[in-house]
Structure 1
Amino acid sequence: MGKLQQLLLVVTVALSLAVQAQGSYAEGEKLRVLVLHGYKGNGNRQCKYCNSWDPAVTNLIQFDCLTAPIPYIFMKWRDCYSWFNVAILYRSQSGIDESLVFILDHMLKNGPYDGVIGHSQGGFMAGVLVGVLEKKKEILGRSFGILPPLRFAIIDKGPFLEDLLEDVLIPPLKTKSFHVIGTIDPYQDEQEVFLTKWQDPQVEYIKMPHVPLTGEYMDVNFTLRFKEFLNNFRRVKAKGKLAEK
């Protein structure tokens, strides 16, 4: 082998190793996800639930758990908040618009985000957030078109509330979604109605009541499917990082 061929071989190997190193770094990067808690919850508690998930999943995600702006009014419930008033299912009085603007400000300050996770009331809010971003809606004079659409949504037992912002869910949402539905959840029917608002939902049924998903409910098969759903977006993210370099 001549000196020129040897030099070319060394350069080729070096370039290959560099590309692999870049790819490994990008593929190891976690997905940044905004987390919305359920009714009478808060961000700290919801983060504890999420961090109890199987490490095969949590190793892929960086959680940012936001606490809703509306405090629960009864004194016996401390550190409890909601995204809207469930007793008033009218958009103008529920507080849902104000919560959306609250989320927008948080995303502008702390983003960008790859996806959103929501449990129960937070699951419905996650769907509404996806909708206003996809459709570039204006809420209370604030445009959601200044942010890019989210890449995915994880909906943990999120019900459909037809009187609140239904217009942002029509036509069905294009954003990829992963839905966890409890088979002994009294709100299962409402959750299945919510599925119809998504264009291509991935659905997982688990025998559990209406409580946040925790690691104790995650068997091996569920964890593998959850991990694969997330890895689809990590692979795309890795390719994007390589293209930038």
Structure 2
Amino acid sequence: MLTNSHQQHLASGTSIIERDKRGEEIGNTGKIETKSQILKKPRFLCLHGFRTSSEILQKQLRRWPETVLEKFDLVFLDGPYMAQGKSMVEGFYDPPYYEWFQFTEDVQELYNFEECIAYIEDFMIKHGPFDGLMGFSQGGIISAALPGMQLDGTALTKVPKIKYVIIISGAQLGGSKICLPKLATNAFSSPLKCPSLHIIGETCFFKELGNELVDSFVDPLVINHSKGHTIARLDEKGLKTMLNFIEKIEKI
């Protein structure tokens, strides 16, 4: 899958379905199955962190057990802009690195935010439909705001409704430390009814902002871990919460 001249990838848990001449679907077992026999996996568009990449996010998510990843259909997208400065992951993951939008040092002004949202929507139109959004760090900031923006009619107007989100080390636009772009003026004007899972690190520099974001959703589930601004492995309690969330969204 190509977009913006960057190769896009699917996670190992993504299945490829073939169709036989009778219009029935053939699963990974090779046996012919009717549509009613196939459990549709929640399909997520995954947005990576600031100055990383779709490939890096895939590698980070492999810290989760296969029993979790196999339940998702994950599609990964690179940000529209090449990194315009040093990446925090240099030395850990190879370039290239991308970013979704730019901002001033005090995060009181954002640049290219509207262009970023248009880029994401264009990808969703061409490669959707998607059921949910999964985002880490800067990708989590965008993923958290988009359901409210869609409800307000300022974004994702040409794609199906986003049903749920998974936010990892995210934050709220217009919160205590991040400015609110004009396009997202009403994104959090009322509590979001979109089911959400929030993963927050105890030593993450976004911890306060992540907890602030949790309060913007009506019925959030939260996984806390002892690490920092990263995608951490799931402990026993975190795994239970994750599986509860998956069970919840599979019913939608």
Give the TM-score normalised by the residue count of structure 1: 0.76
How far apart, CA to CA, are the structure 1 residues paired with 2:50 and 2:34? 42
Equivalent positions of 1:90-169 (< 5 A) are: 94-137=111-154, 144-162=156-174, 163-164=179-180, 165-169=184-188
Aligned residues: percent identity? 24
CA–CA distance in 2 between the matches of 1:196 and 1:187? 15
Structure having greater relative contact order (Cα 8 Å, sep ≥ 6) = 1
User: Which residue of structure 2 aligns with residue 171 of structure 1?
Assistant: 190
Aligned partner of 1:7 in structure 2 is none
SS at match of 1:168: coil
Give the 5 Å matches for 1:56-95.
56-74=67-85, 78-87=95-104, 89=107, 94-95=111-112
1: CA distance between counterparts of 2:35 and 2:81?
A: 43
Equivalent position of 2:229 in the other structure: 210
Q: CA separation of 1:85/1:112 partners in 2, compared to 1, >3 Å: closer, same or farther? A: same
1:96-125 deviation per Cα after TM superposition (whole angstroms, max 9, x unaligned): 111100000000001011111001111110
Residue identity in the other structure for 1:230: I
* Contact 1:176–1:200 (Cα < 8 Å) also in 2: yes
The answer for the alignment partner of 1:54 in structure 2 is 65
Selected match of 1:40 from 30, 46, 51: 51
**Corresponding residue SS for 1:97:** helix
What stretches of structure 2 of length at least 5 have no aligned partner?
Answer: 1-32
Q: Partner of 1:154: helix, strand, or coil?
A: strand
**Is the Cα contact below 8 Å between 1:30 and 1:62 reproduced in 2?**
yes
Q: Is the 8 A contact 2:224 2:238 kept in 1?
A: no
* Residues 11-50 of structure 1 aligned to structure 2 (within 5 Å): 25-27=37-39, 29-50=40-61
Output the CA distance in 1 between the equivalents of 2:52 and 2:104: 16
Q: C-alpha distance in 2, partners of 1:114/1:24?
A: 19
Pair member with larger Rg: 1
* CA shift in 2, pair 1:231/1:41, >3 Å: same
Query: Amino acid of the residue matched to residue 229 of structure 1?
Result: F
In 2: Cα distance, 1:232 partner to 1:167 partner: 27
Residues 36 and 126 in structure 1, CA contact (< 8 A), matched pair in contact too = yes
TM-score of the pair, normalised by structure 2: 0.74
State whether residues 56 and 223 of structure 1, in contact with CA within 8 Å, keep that contact through their aligned partners in structure 2: no
Counterpart residue identity of residue 155, structure 1: I
Higher helix share: 1
Which whole-Å deviations, capped at 9, do the CAs of 1:154-199 have from their partners, x for residues lacking one?
0001022421334211112111100001111122111111112222
Partner of 1:198: helix, strand, or coil?
Answer: coil
2:139 maps to amino acid: G
Shift of 1:232: 2.2
Cα 1:122–1:26, aligned 2, differ >3 Å: closer, same or farther?
same
How much has 1:23 moved relative to structure 2? 8.0
- Contact 1:37/1:118, CA 8 A, preserved across alignment: yes
CA shift for structure 1 position 75: 7.1
